[in-house]
Every structure is written in structure tokens, then in C-alpha cells.
Structure 1
Amino acid sequence: MDESSYRYPCGAVYIFENVKAQRVKVGMTILSTTNVLDRLRDLNNIWIGLKATCQVCGGRRFINTKGLVPQHVVSGVECPGGDRAPIEREVVFAEQHLQNLKKLVENVTGTEKGSVTRKINSLEKRVKLFRHYNQPLGMWQISTVYHTERAELVESETHQILVEKLDKLAPIGEVFCCSVSEASKAVELALKQLGLLDAAEKEINIPTTSGEYGQCVICGNNLTATGACPDCRERLLS
């Protein structure tokens, strides 16, 4: 292993596609810490509401059996957003907490004032984003993965190339209103600009299964978005 391998650990820049929502997501991961499938599972958990956002701290957690954000601790203190509906469902408590913070900021100074101000700015953005929130459509699947060094830089350059396509209303970041083809061209342009295109390895159409796409009539396993069963390679014909 050469010296550059230590400086730039191998990562992956991925393109996820949501056919129903007509959106793509471009992200990255360092493969020594988290793989692409883990990223996909986490994204879908957030997208369909199994993992939701606290109205107070903005942290994402799996909802409990009551559909509420469970009790949790932030910086050693129990967050008042625990045992309440997530902000995706309502913003009432978030707005109340925001007003309390605005009163508090008038009575503090120094670093505490700066901390409260940052909380106000962050919470205002979340309330604005989720005030008229609708459950997003579809599920995400893996479309294309580029294995490359300096994945963080490639991702950043790609986002700059696609900046005009950014979906500013999406409940998560890095979502773009463009086709997989456009996203792929953007990633490859970023790789080229960074001198990494020739060394990158590209994987296309990695099959991702989901119960949303139906079950195979032969083995009963979940199908891919194209109706294929990766195990027995039979298509479900309707």
C-alpha cells in the first residue's frame, strides 16, 4: 500500500434513485467505517418515517411504538423533545420552544448567548422546512457507485456541479431534481477535474430489493424496482 492510500482512504460516491419521487441523492461514505447499503437503509428509515426528528434538538431517532420520539439526552441533559411527536408530524412544541429560546437570548451574554443564538437559527430553519411537511413518495435504491480515493472532495465537487438542481424542500440533504444520467455525468466530471477518473471503479444498477416492489412468485423473496429476483433471476409478470 502506497503513502497516498493512507492519506486518502478508499471511499465510495453513490447515486441513489427514487423513481416515484423523481429524485436522486448523491452522497459518499468511507468504506472502512460505513458501507453503501448501510447508508441506503438509514436513508429509507428516515424517508418513510421510521427514524424521525426531535422537535427540540433536531436529532434523528427511531420512533417508539407510540409513534413518538423516545426520551433522550443531549449534552448530559434530558431533551424536552422526548416522548413527543416528531417534527415531521407537527411543529407546535418546536414553535413553543423557539419562543422560549428567543426570550432566553435576551437575558444571557457571552458564549451562552452565542450558543442560544445558534439554536434559534437552527430551529427556525427546521420549523420552516417541516411546517407544511408531506410524507415523501417512494423508496430509494442504489443506482450507481463510484469507488474512489478522496471521496469527500468528489462528493463536494459533484454537489457544486448540481447546485442548480438541489431540492431545497427535501427533508434530507444532497437530494437533487435530476436524472441518474445527469448525476452520473456530474460525478464523472468531478472525478476528471480531480484527476481521479481513470483510477475510479464504477458499479451500475446494483440490485436493491424491497417489499414495496412485490415478492417473487417462485421463492417469495422481495423484488428489485425492475421486478427481478436476484436469487432465482425470475421476473414477476403481472
Structure 2
Amino acid sequence: MAFIYILENQDAQRIKIGATHNHPNDRLLDINRMWQAVKGRCQICLSWRMLVNGRMPKHVLSMNHCAGSGEPPLEYSTKLAEKQTIDLQGQLPWLSGSDLRSASKRIKNLKKILQTYKENPIRIGGWQLRASFPIDSAYQIEELVHKALAVHLDKEAPFGEVFSCSAEEAISTIEETISQMKYKSTGL
């Protein structure tokens, strides 16, 4: 059994819709940690980690010590990520094949993430669990609900699946999607 859930941040006027096999309260704790920068994103490997005194803990990237260890996360600084982007761009003329494609993709992702963090407004409020629906097809429903609410997607949120619509609209969209899926599966 999985859950589709709605988390709400009333102060920021945002909701997050997701699916999980764990209890939605586990996701709530994780999201609040990311939102409040108790959990940060590494500037080098882009992984999310619990911060130690406002810095990334020691961690590994491709079986090697990650250069982002001990450094501020993206929530506090973008300098390492900007340097990595410039360094990768400088290497492009000497790369070919899959190495070139991999470096180009990495540059594109870094630029997108850097733009998000540079333009990110001050994070206000906290998240609360507004609703959850235990259902086997949670991941399918999540995908359909995201498509239905795409016009409300907050592309500047520090993590995905955040929307600027009301919780009531999201709940209604989830309920309608569940109902439509049941109708299709039973043929009623």
C-alpha cells in the first residue's frame, strides 16, 4: 500500500503533492528539514544531506570523497557549483561521445539548479500534512494529478512537486482522479 499526500505551507501559500510507500509524516519531516535548511543540497554532487553546523557532512561521490563535504550547501552559497559549471564548460572542447553528453547534461542541470537557488525567495512558514490517501495506485495518481495541476507548478521551489493552488483544489483533483481510475478499472 502506498499513499498520495498533500502537504500545505499556509504562510508560503504552497502545497506539495507526492506519493510514498512510507507514512506521509516521514515525508513531512523530510520536507520541513529541506525547507528550513536543516537538510541541505551539496553544491558538488547535488545530494540532500542533514547539515552539520550549517555545512555538508563528509560524504562520498562515485566512491571518492565529495569535494562538497564540509562546505556550505546550495541554500547558503552557490560558489562551488558555479566554479564546477565553469570548469565543466572549459572541458567541453576536449570531450567526445558519452563524456561530452554527460558533461553537457551536468552543465544544463547545474545551471537550472543555480538559477533556482539564486532566485529563491526567503522560505517562510512550515509544512503540515493536509491530506493523505492510502491507495495502491498512488504513483499513477500522483503523475496524473501533477499533469492536471501543471499550470500551478512552482518552478522556483527548492524541490519538486510544489504548486501554488489551494489544498482544496488539490484534494478535489486527487479525488476526481481516483474516481476516474476506479471507473476505468471497473467499467462502471
Structure 1-normalised TM-score? Answer: 0.74
Q: 1:149, 1:196 within 8 Å by CA — same for their partners in 2? A: no
What SS does the aligned partner of 1:89 have?
coil
Residue 110 of structure 1 deviates from its aligned partner by 1.9
What SS does the aligned partner of 2:116 have?
helix
Match of 1:135 in 2: 122
Asked whether 1:61 is paired with 2:49, we answer yes
Match of 2:7 in 1: 16
Aligned partner (choices 193, 201, 221) of residue 180 of structure 2: 193
Q: 2:119, 2:156 within 8 Å by CA — same for their partners in 1? A: no
Asked whether 1:36 is paired with 2:27, we answer no
Match of 1:103 in 2: 90
Q: 1:148, 1:196 within 8 Å by CA — same for their partners in 2? A: no
What SS does the aligned partner of 1:145 have?
strand
Q: What is the CA–CA distance in structure 2 between the aligned matches of 1:174 and 1:71, rounded to whole Å?
A: 28
CA distance 1:35–1:196, change in 2 (3 Å): farther
Q: What is the CA–CA distance in structure 2 between the aligned matches of 1:132 and 1:181, rounded to whole Å?
A: 28
What SS does the aligned partner of 2:182 have?
coil
Asked whether 1:173 is paired with 2:164, we answer no
Q: 1:89, 1:133 within 8 Å by CA — same for their partners in 2? A: no
Match of 1:230 in 2: none
Letter in 2 for 1:162: L
Aligned partner (choices 95, 104, 110) of residue 123 of structure 1: 110
Deviations for 1:80-111, whole angstroms, at most 9, x for unmatched residues?
A: 22211111112122111100011112212222
Residue 132 of structure 1 deviates from its aligned partner by 3.2
Match of 2:136 in 1: 149
Q: What is the CA–CA distance in structure 2 between the aligned matches of 1:69 and 1:86, rounded to whole Å?
A: 6
Residue 162 of structure 1 deviates from its aligned partner by 0.5
What SS does the aligned partner of 1:40 have?
helix
Q: How does 1:71-86 map to 2 (within 5 A)?
A: 71-86=58-73
Residue 196 of structure 1 deviates from its aligned partner by 6.7
How many residue pairs are counted as aligned between the two chains? Answer: 186
Asked whether 1:50 is paired with 2:38, we answer yes
Letter in 2 for 1:176: F
Q: What is the CA–CA distance in structure 1 between the aligned matches of 2:74 and 2:99, rounded to whole Å?
A: 25
Identity of aligned residues (%): 32
Letter in 1 for 2:110: L
What SS does the aligned partner of 1:84 have?
coil
Deviations for 1:175-209, whole angstroms, at most 9, x for unmatched residues?
A: 11111110011101211221279x9xxxxxxxxxx
The structure in which a higher percent of residues are helix is 2
Match of 2:17 in 1: 26
Most deviating of 71-80 and 151-160: 71-80
Structure 1 unpaired stretches of 5+? 1-9, 200-238
Higher RCO (CA 8 Å, separation ≥ 6 residues):
2
How large is the RMSD of aligned CA atoms in angstroms? Answer: 1.8
CA distance 1:26–1:173, change in 2 (3 Å): same
Letter in 1 for 2:16: K
Match of 2:57 in 1: 70
CA distance 1:61–1:95, change in 2 (3 Å): same
